[in-house]
Structure 1
């Protein structure tokens, strides 16, 4: 997710904007920009591609003012470029706007209202600011009225900050499905998409609700609903530590971490897949893996499920045979190894005792090892020959969410790098950066509507004591993870099964009302899985189908965007995470700290 910072009423505007952008840098971005106005007729717009350091270098000492907006952008509409970076501006250069989110009907709006307007960028954001200018300049509306009318026409998600250079005494703010906070500071105010950006300026924030807008001045804030009526709002206190280990405005860590997954995908892509450069992985590691004749994935729990996906990624794109083993079993039941084995360990914490036991034995045998983990200085990371970071940020909830999707993404990066090293066409043509961008956008779509998932959880899992997840191929792999999420936090007895195995015994457990959640994203087996769905329905099972766009049929309750088969778990698992989350919440249970479980399993 992109980052937004804005402020009004202080002479330290530029410093606040740049510091805020630096604190949001972890989100991943490809360009950045600021607009500053001194409220006396002088203003400045500075935009750059690349790191915030480039923006800081381009901001001269004269770029000062008392109102300003700033943004870090991850490209969705249009490639990374100065023209596509935010802030975007109107043709008259009267209005300046930053935007988080995606406007789904921007093309239709552009054709209807701006057919004769020249555009400087490829972004959906420019359509918003040009529409505001159109309503002010062509229809003689006030800025407020034009802002309100434009908002009423937008479909999609947005967090917006707008400055009118002819009235720089007010910052226009609005949100829908994208986070935005208004911070109340001493004699001035700030606006941000994440309190981490401004945690040293205030702990008092006003939280906008979806569909609301606000007029932010130096000394006051007015919040308006969609009808333009003023809304009362008490500030909430948000204390953010410098290391960002906090829930912010989220009620739980788990929900926050589910929602962070799009940003994690973008961050991984930014770190490991720099534009027009080689994959950013140690060439020695790539070469070592490329020389292996078999890969052995070792992990536990959620990480083991990510290993199952990793096996498929490496066999397809690196064409190296692979197998995945449960760490607690592998440690005492070693298989007959190949001639040139390579061991890959997955662990969110990097402290998993079962995995470390295998690592120690592998090193004793002189076998090469890699750890993929979220914690740079963890035990496993220190002791393995190589390590790759997930760059997922702190994961606090016991039930792992963003670490799973991060593990798959990093596995994909390494698989592609190894395949390219081996000069394999499948790897060379694999547009992984594009796929991760699509995955991030799909995750955004899924997490945008929490209420819908709350309702689905109530309908399918509300009173359930047992549940099943079904799928074939890669859908079977993610069924195991989705089932684990539900059982570990809601305490509903849940199992993930290969759909084709259902009639070989498990169908005996299907009785009227039993929830059976089925993933159908693999075109090669979709028809077979549909047949299993009919078998379940014939026995009274309460079936929820989650299908990809490529496999959808009439009656499917959930349809999600299509990615390459091996990366579909990045999207399907989010559905399982949200169903588990709301099923647990509805039971009044502790989502973040389920009974009998710990975040890091440090004993065998």
Structure 2
């Protein structure tokens, strides 16, 4: 999964972006880039194929600024090249944008609105930033151009947009892809995972699907696509910076293997009392008892963990358990039993494919249980119930 970071109003923007991207390396990626500006039309854009270290090697000590956006890309449209790496720029170069997700109607947008534009790469993302630029050229304000583009774009996305002529603002929007606002002291941030900005802040604000955020160093304005203002409180992320460091270990893998006995003790403490009686939320137990089938939805290693638990769950609950690959179920929900219970497994709680399934489950009124390492994560907030793994962030995926 791609990663997004952004900051507005901090003179150490380059360092914040690079540190944030490094914290997102666990997601897997093939290229990376950042855009940093220190004034009107004074931005610099650096991109690189390969590791974050390759990008860092291209960034000089003079690349400074107080506003910027960064991205790690996993190729979906086009090869992993510098031209296809994010951030992308509009036709005139005025707008710079990063994007997670997939724009499903990008070819139609290109044919309908951008037939006279010169695209540098092969990505769906470049279509989006050109579309915003086109609407501004037609006379719309930046915010109105962004809203118009968002109402045209179909698919999953998390966007962070910077206007070179207004470096004091970052425009943010999301649909089906994770994105958070990080609240700093005299500056603000945007990230696709709280882990990316936990060094800077523990205070975050969630963004709901089809919401637009105008971010400055000292303000956060949330609205829907019609421009109606939305009020929302922040929350404190329960992450410890020490949890995402290697400590004295040379590799995260070794650290996490050695942590397993400690995690097991934490789980026993969390879910049993002094008399070894189970202390799981009674509502969760009731939901399991009332279900006629349990569906475990996950991706990758989480899917394998679910598969390993299938026989144990069936014996413990006397209820059939079915496994589903989240990326498939998100597009094609199979015929379900009469009283299903969905169990979402995601170490980060931000897995986009799993969230797509959870959104559908909520719309259908299906009870859900998220099993995750991260309290306050998207899957945790949006599921009916949550059980924490107490393993801390998993870096060595």
Q: CA RMSD of the aligned region, Å?
A: 4.2
Could you say which residue in structure 1 is the equivalent of 2:53? Answer: 53
Following superposition, the deviation at residue 582 of structure 1 comes to 4.1
Residue 12 in structure 1 maps to residue 15 in structure 2: no
Following superposition, the deviation at residue 73 of structure 1 comes to 0.8
For the 8 Å contact 1:196–1:244, the answer to whether it is kept is no
Match for residue 318 of structure 2 among 485, 493, 500: 493
- Cα distance, 1:110–1:234 mapped onto 2, change above 3 Å: same
Larger radius of gyration between Structure 1 and Structure 2: 1
- Cα distance, 1:147–1:480 mapped onto 2, change above 3 Å: closer
Following superposition, the deviation at residue 156 of structure 1 comes to 1.3
- Cα distance, 1:582–1:59 mapped onto 2, change above 3 Å: same
Following superposition, the deviation at residue 117 of structure 1 comes to 1.6
Post-superposition Cα deviations, 1:212-236, rounded to whole Å, max 9, x if no partner, equal 0111111211111121111112111
Please show how residues 224-239 of structure 1 align to structure 2 within 5 Å.
224-239=223-238
- Cα distance, 1:32–1:57 mapped onto 2, change above 3 Å: same
Please show how residues 487-566 of structure 1 align to structure 2 within 5 Å.
487=314, 492-495=317-320, 557=335
For the 8 Å contact 2:3–2:72, the answer to whether it is kept is yes
Post-superposition Cα deviations, 1:558-604, rounded to whole Å, max 9, x if no partner, equal 8xxxxxxxxxxxxxx979x978x9455799876347xxxx9xxxxxx
Relative to its length, the structure with more helix (as a share) is 1
Could you say which residue in structure 2 is the equivalent of 1:87? Answer: 87
Please show how residues 401-550 of structure 1 align to structure 2 within 5 Å.
463-465=290-292, 483-484=310-311, 487=314, 492-495=317-320
For the 8 Å contact 1:467–1:492, the answer to whether it is kept is no
- Cα distance, 1:117–1:485 mapped onto 2, change above 3 Å: farther
Could you say which residue in structure 2 is the equivalent of 1:145? Answer: 144
- Cα distance, 1:224–1:518 mapped onto 2, change above 3 Å: closer
- Cα distance, 1:18–1:494 mapped onto 2, change above 3 Å: same
Q: 1 or 2 for the larger relative contact order (CA 8 Å, sep ≥6)?
A: 2
In structure 1, C-alpha distance between the alignment counterparts of 2:93 and 2:384, rounded to whole Å: 52
Following superposition, the deviation at residue 40 of structure 1 comes to 3.9
Could you say which residue in structure 1 is the equivalent of 2:214? Answer: 215
Please show how residues 359-374 of structure 1 align to structure 2 within 5 Å.
none
Following superposition, the deviation at residue 485 of structure 1 comes to 7.5
- TM-score normalised over the length of structure 1: 0.47
Following superposition, the deviation at residue 16 of structure 1 comes to 0.8
For the 8 Å contact 2:183–2:201, the answer to whether it is kept is yes
Following superposition, the deviation at residue 243 of structure 1 comes to 5.3
In structure 2, C-alpha distance between the alignment counterparts of 1:148 and 1:18, rounded to whole Å: 29
- Cα distance, 1:226–1:589 mapped onto 2, change above 3 Å: closer
Could you say which residue in structure 2 is the equivalent of 1:240? Answer: 239
Post-superposition Cα deviations, 1:15-48, rounded to whole Å, max 9, x if no partner, equal 1111111111111111110111112431101001
- Cα distance, 1:162–1:378 mapped onto 2, change above 3 Å: closer
Could you say which residue in structure 2 is the equivalent of 1:388? Answer: none
In structure 1, C-alpha distance between the alignment counterparts of 2:369 and 2:222, rounded to whole Å: 33
For the 8 Å contact 1:102–1:157, the answer to whether it is kept is yes
For the 8 Å contact 1:113–1:131, the answer to whether it is kept is yes
In structure 2, C-alpha distance between the alignment counterparts of 1:191 and 1:62, rounded to whole Å: 24
In structure 2, C-alpha distance between the alignment counterparts of 1:479 and 1:10, rounded to whole Å: 42
| Unmatched tracts of structure 1, length 5 or more | 246-349, 351-372, 381-393, 399-457, 470-476, 497-516, 522-545, 559-572, 599-604
- Cα distance, 1:78–1:396 mapped onto 2, change above 3 Å: farther
In structure 1, C-alpha distance between the alignment counterparts of 2:255 and 2:160, rounded to whole Å: 34
Please show how residues 93-492 of structure 1 align to structure 2 within 5 Å.
93-137=93-137, 139-242=138-241, 244=243, 375-377=256-258, 463-465=290-292, 483-484=310-311, 487=314, 492=317
Q: Secondary structure at the match of 2:222?
A: strand
- Cα distance, 1:467–1:241 mapped onto 2, change above 3 Å: closer
In structure 1, C-alpha distance between the alignment counterparts of 2:126 and 2:135, rounded to whole Å: 14
Could you say which residue in structure 2 is the equivalent of 1:62? Answer: 62
| Unmatched tracts of structure 2, length 5 or more | 245-252, 268-286, 297-303, 337-352, 371-381, 392-397
Could you say which residue in structure 2 is the equivalent of 1:566? Answer: none
Could you say which residue in structure 2 is the equivalent of 1:333? Answer: none
Following superposition, the deviation at residue 125 of structure 1 comes to 0.4
In the comparison of the two structures, how many residue pairs are matched? Answer: 323
Could you say which residue in structure 1 is the equivalent of 2:249? Answer: none
- TM-score normalised over the length of structure 2: 0.70
Following superposition, the deviation at residue 11 of structure 1 comes to 0.9
For the 8 Å contact 2:106–2:124, the answer to whether it is kept is yes
Post-superposition Cα deviations, 1:414-462, rounded to whole Å, max 9, x if no partner, equal xxxxxxxxxxxxxxxxxxxxxxxxxxxxxxxxxxxxxxxxxxxx9xx89
In structure 1, C-alpha distance between the alignment counterparts of 2:218 and 2:204, rounded to whole Å: 14
Post-superposition Cα deviations, 1:280-336, rounded to whole Å, max 9, x if no partner, equal xxxxxxxxxxxxxxxxxxxxxxxxxxxxxxxxxxxxxxxxxxxxxxxxxxxxxxxxx
In structure 2, C-alpha distance between the alignment counterparts of 1:23 and 1:548, rounded to whole Å: 27
